[in-house]
């Protein structure tokens, strides 16, 4: 690549169509069984060869120092490479933070891919996956974000070819507050069911949608449970669930127009400050 070239990569958000917690581990993590799918909501990352590695981000409050997963990904890549990657990275954020949408994990995975492509190191997917798993449980999925079953602590990714062409219109709603992943798992102890909130699996096109972190997160933030029930009552909504560890909720609709109508109704009837996104899950 010539010195002046900027290469742009898109990092997609994800939802968990299903998230089951199958046990607590000795290393502080939980074993999980997740069905993960990407969305057409993306962050964008520009990479430009430079004298040192720097990160700029358009979203206020996002750290651009060594604590950002993008810089951590560069450092993880450099550990394997044995030399400096020297990239000027410009991150344009569209995926909200603390939302359960995997934005930081996606940015990290794409950074590993970009460094591998731009520097020409030709690390295999397996080698990149080992680097990705060191950065976070969700990061390996984003190296090849086809609908996949994720097990272990989430880092063992197995594509689900029979769902490869499945897709659906989706609406996302996120309140102003964020939920951190560690806090969601911690809340599992002492969690209870809120009366009137339905936690049961919902079966759509043969896919069993369920999120076992809902019980934990709804106990602390009951408004999310009530919003899920409101979503389930909206015209055209086929299923509604919390995304990962929250605070975003999603609803699958019959048509894109219904997704837009749900987002408008949510701001009118529930909370005018809600963030929303209407698009597709598993865009083809
Ligand atoms: O792997 P990641 O850095 O995303 O995990 C953040 C935190 O979320 C972990 O430190 C742990 O507290 C919790 N976690 C968990 N079980 C998982 C994934 C995450 O308990 N499978």
Q: Is the pLDDT of residue 121 over 70?
A: yes
Q: What digits encode the pLDDT tens for the residues 159-205?
A: 999 999 999 999 999 999 999 999 999 999 989 999 999 999 999 99
* Entry pTM: 0.96
Mean pLDDT of all residues in 259-271: 98
Ligand 1 centroid–CA 49 distance in Å is 33
Indicate if the pLDDT at residue 32 is higher than 70. Answer: yes
Per-residue pLDDT at 3 = 57
Distances (CA, A) of 137 to 24, 156, 223, 261: 15, 9, 28, 34
The domain of 16 spans 6-159
Domain count, the chain: 2
112, pLDDT greater than 90: yes
The residues that are catalytic are 14, 138
pLDDT of residue 248 exceeding 80, the answer is: yes
Calculate the average pLDDT of the chain. 97
Distances in Å between the alpha carbon of 72 and those of 97, 103, 189? 17, 14, 31
Q: Under a CB-based contact definition with an 8 Å cutoff, are residues 187 and 216 in contact? A: yes
- The pLDDT of residue 147 is 98
| Rounded Cα distance, 47 and 54, in Å | 10
Judge if 111 and 204 occupy the same domain.
Answer: no
Tell me if 245 CB under 6 Å of ligand 1. Answer: no
Q: Whose CA is nearest to atom 19 of ligand 1?
A: 29
Which of 122, 143, 159 terminates a domain? The answer is 159
User: Is the Cβ atom of 154 under 6 angstroms away from ligand 1?
Assistant: yes
Residue 53 has pLDDT above 80, yes or no: yes
User: 168-174 and 148-151: which strand pairing?
Assistant: unpaired
pLDDT at 2: 45
Cβ atoms of 229 and 195 within 8 Å: the answer is: no
**What is the spatial distance between Cα 63 and Cα 111, in angstroms, rounded to a whole number?**
16
- Among residues 122, 55, 65, 116, which one has the least CA distance to residue 90? 55
Query: Is the pLDDT assigned to residue 1 strictly greater than 60?
Result: no
Residue 177 in domain: yes
Evaluate whether residue 236 is within a structural domain. yes
Are 112 and 86 part of one and the same domain? yes
Query: How far, rounded to the nearest angstrom, does the alpha carbon of residue 245 sit from its chain's CA centroid?
Result: 10
Q: What is the structure's pLDDT at 4?
A: 78
Residue 1 lies in a domain: no
For residues 281 and 109, what is the distance between their CA atoms, to the nearest angstrom? Answer: 19
Q: Report yes or no: 231 and 197 within 8 Å, Cβ to Cβ.
A: no
Task: Give the whole-number percent of the chain exceeding pLDDT 70.
Answer: 99
Q: Which residues contact 195 (CB under 8 A, 6 or more apart)?
A: none
Q: Are residues 58 and 39 in the same domain?
A: yes
Percentage above 90 pLDDT, the chain: 98
What is the DSSP pairing of strand 168-174 with strand 237-242? unpaired
The pLDDT tens digits for 63-104 are 999 999 999 999 999 999 999 999 999 999 999 999 999 999
For residue 63, the CA-to-ligand 1 centroid distance in Å is: 20
Which tens digit of pLDDT belongs to each residue from 205-233?
A: 999 999 999 999 999 999 999 999 999 99
Residue 32 maps to which CATH number?
3.30.230.10
Mark whether 217 and 246 lie in a shared domain. Answer: yes
C-alpha to C-alpha distance for 114 and 276, rounded to whole angstroms: 29
Ligand 1 close to Cβ of residue 199 (< 6 A) = no
Q: Which atom of ligand 1 is found nearest the CA of 105?
A: 4
Cα 266 to middle of ligand 1, angstroms: 31
What is the length of the chain? 284
Q: Do 153 and 169 lie in a common domain? A: no
237 and 127 share one domain:
no
């Amino acid at each position: 690549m010539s010195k002046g070239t900027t290469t742009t990569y898109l990092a997609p958000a994800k939802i968990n169509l299903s998230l089951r917690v199958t046990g607590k581990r000795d290393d502080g993590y939980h074993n999980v069984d997740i069905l993960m799918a990407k969305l057409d909501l993306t962050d964008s990352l520009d990479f430009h060869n430079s004298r040192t590695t720097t990160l700029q981000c358009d979203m206020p409050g996002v750290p651009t120092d060594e604590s950002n997963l993008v810089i951590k990904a560069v450092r993880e890549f450099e550990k394997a490479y044995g030399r400096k990657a020297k990239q000027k990275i410009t991150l344009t954020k569209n995926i909200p933070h603390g939302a359960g949408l995997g934005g930081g994990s996606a940015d990290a995975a794409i950074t590993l891919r970009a460094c591998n492509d731009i520097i020409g190191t030709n690390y295999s997917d397996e080698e990149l996956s080992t680097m990705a798993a060191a950065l976070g449980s969700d990061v390996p999925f984003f190296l090849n974000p086809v609908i996949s079953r994720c097990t272990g602590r989430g880092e063992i990714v197995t594509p689900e070819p029979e769902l490869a062409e499945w897709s659906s219109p989706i609406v996302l709603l996120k309140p102003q507050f964020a939920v951190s992943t560690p806090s969601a798992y911690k809340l599992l102890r002492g969690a209870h069911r809120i009366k009137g909130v339905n936690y049961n699996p919902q079966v759509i096109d043969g896919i069993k949608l369920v999120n076992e972190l809902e019980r934990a997160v709804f106990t602390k933030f009951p408004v999310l449970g009530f919003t899920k029930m409101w979503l389930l009552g909206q015209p055209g909504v086929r299923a509604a669930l919390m995304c990962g560890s929250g605070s975003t909720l999603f609803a699958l609709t019959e048509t894109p127009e219904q997704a837009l109508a749900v987002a408008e109704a949510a701001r009118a009837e529930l909370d005018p400050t809600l963030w929303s996104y209407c698009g597709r899950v598993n865009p083809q």
